[in-house]
Structures are given as C-alpha cells and as structure tokens.
Amino acid sequence: MSAASSDPSGMATAADGKELKQERAVRTRETILHAAAQLFADKGYPSVTILDVAQLAGMTKGAVYFHYANKEALALAVTSEFYRRLPAIAESVEELGLSPIASVAELLMRTALALRDNTMMQAGARLQIESALIGIDLPVPFQDYTGLVRTWLERAVALGELQHSTPPHALARVIVSAFFGTQHISWVLHDRQDIAERVLEVAETVLPSCHDALRTCPSVQGCRKT
C-alpha cells in the first residue's frame, strides 16, 4: 500500500517516500476540491453534505475530513480558487497587448466563457450568491475585478481611446454590474448557453464608441463567428 512497496526497483529512500506521500496528498486535496466544486455548482451550498463530496470523490468521509475541517472550509477553498483564477484571466488578457478598451471587452468575454465552461468558476459564482448562507466570511466580491476594469478604463482615457460622460471609476462599476447581472440572468434563464452573446451585447452597449477595439478581441471574434 505504501509508495515504497509499490516501487519496482525496491530502491526508494525514506525521502522519496515522503515526497510521494506529499504528492498523493496534493492530488487527494485536488480531487476533493473538484468534487466539492461540482456539487456546489450543481446543488448549491446548503444542499451539499460532506458525504456527497466523499462519494463523488470516491473516498471515505474520514478522508475528506482529514484534508478539510468542515463544509465551510471546502467553500472557502473553492472560493479562494475562484478568486485566484479571475486575476489569472486578466493576466492572460494583458499578455495579448490589446488596447485598454479591447482588454476590458476581452476580460469580460473570457470570464463569461470560463463561467460557461468551467465547474470551479461556476461553483465560485454560486457560492458568492449564496455567501450569506455560509457560516464564514468569504473574500469580498466584485471590488478587485472592478478595480482591474477601472485601471484599464483610466488608461483608455489617458490614451484618448475613451470619451465617455461617465468617469472611469463609475463606468467600471456599471460595467461590472451589467456583466454580473447578465451572467446571472443567462444562468437562471438559459443555463449560460447564451452568455457569450449577452456579454458581447453589454460590451457593445456600455462602450458604444469602441466597435473598432472590439474587432481586435479574439474572444469577441470567436463569438461573432459562431
């Protein structure tokens, strides 16, 4: 059963064994995290039990409790992963070297597609909505994402790419509100199947003078083609 006994060379040292054990622990934690994310996304936080998580992960309740103290800890871990992925999406956009306005549109589109296609993102979004039902404080939502959008809008104003009667800090709030509302309504009414079109509609409406910028966004072009 131990890593050493399954080593065909029979040469495993104690240090190798410890490393393999740690790797296994990391993999087990990931398996549990993904099972929890799947269940939170599908059923909602209040309806999920540790037994559900253990069964989906293919292990005992004891094994789950060994890695996560309780359901709140699982919710926090899933939410933390969600809030790690949002800035990672922003970084992937930054690397494209688009104009600031195109970057905002591409960020919204990539976030939308991640919400449509990725269970961890769906779980994070649902846990945010249900956060008042979770007995611990989760990270404060919306603020970092709004700050990101604001930074790009300020750059756009500085570069003369954006002329809007609403100043960047307020426009960033409106864009994030419209994005959040759109993805929620798309989820409730259409199981997120129309999320890309709806978010593109938001970008085109709230940034109306930016059609040229939108033409440079890979995700926008991908959505228009389909």
Cβ nearer to a second copy, comparing 31 with 175: 175
Q: List the interface residues with a second copy, window 81-120 (CB under 8 A).
A: none
201 binds a second copy per the rule CB under 8 A: yes
Q: How many residues bind a second copy (CB under 8 A)?
A: 37
Q: Does 198 bind a second copy (CB under 8 A)?
A: yes
Window of 84-92, 95-103, 107-115, 195-203 that interacts with a second copy by CB under 8 A: 195-203
Q: What is the 3-state secondary structure (H, E, C) of the chain?
A: CCCCCCCCCCCCCHHHHHHHHHHHHHHHHHHHHHHHHHHHHHHCHHHCCHHHHHHHHCCCHHHHHHHCCCHHHHHHHHHHHHHHHHHHHHHHHHCCCCCHHHHHHHHHHHHHHHHHHCHHHHHHHHHHHCHHHCCCCCCCCCHHHHHHHHHHHHHHHHCCCCCCCCCHHHHHHHHHHHHHHHHHHHHHHHCCCCHHHHHHHHHHHHCCCCHHHHCCCHHHHHHHHC
Query: Is residue 78 a contact point for a second copy (CB under 8 A)?
Result: no
Tell me how far, at minimum, the Cβ of 132 lies from a second copy, in Å. Answer: 6
Count other Cβ atoms within 10 Å, centred on residue 95. 8
Does residue 37 belong to the site contacting a second copy (CB under 8 A)?
A: no
CB of 186 to a second copy, least distance (A): 9
Q: Does 17 sit near a second copy (CB under 8 A)?
A: no
192 touching a second copy, by CB under 8 A: no
Q: How far is CA 188 from the centre of its chain?
A: 18
Candidates 19-27, 107-115, 201-209, 215-223: pick the segment binding a second copy (CB under 8 A). 201-209
177 binds a second copy (CB under 8 A): yes
| Length of the chain, in residues | 226
- Asked if residue 164 binds a second copy (CB under 8 A), the reply is yes
Residue 123 or 171 with smaller CB distance to a second copy:
171
Closest distance between a second copy and the C-beta of residue 133, in Å? 5
Query: Euclidean distance between the first and final Cα of the chain, in Å?
Result: 50
Asked if 7 interacts with a second copy (CB under 8 A), we say no
Q: Are 172 and 153 in contact (CB under 8 A)?
A: yes
Q: How far is the CB of 134 from a second copy (least distance, A)?
A: 10
Q: Name the residues that contact a second copy, by CB under 8 A.
A: 44, 46-47, 129-133, 140-143, 164-166, 170-171, 173-174, 176-182, 184-185, 188-189, 198, 201-202, 204-206, 208
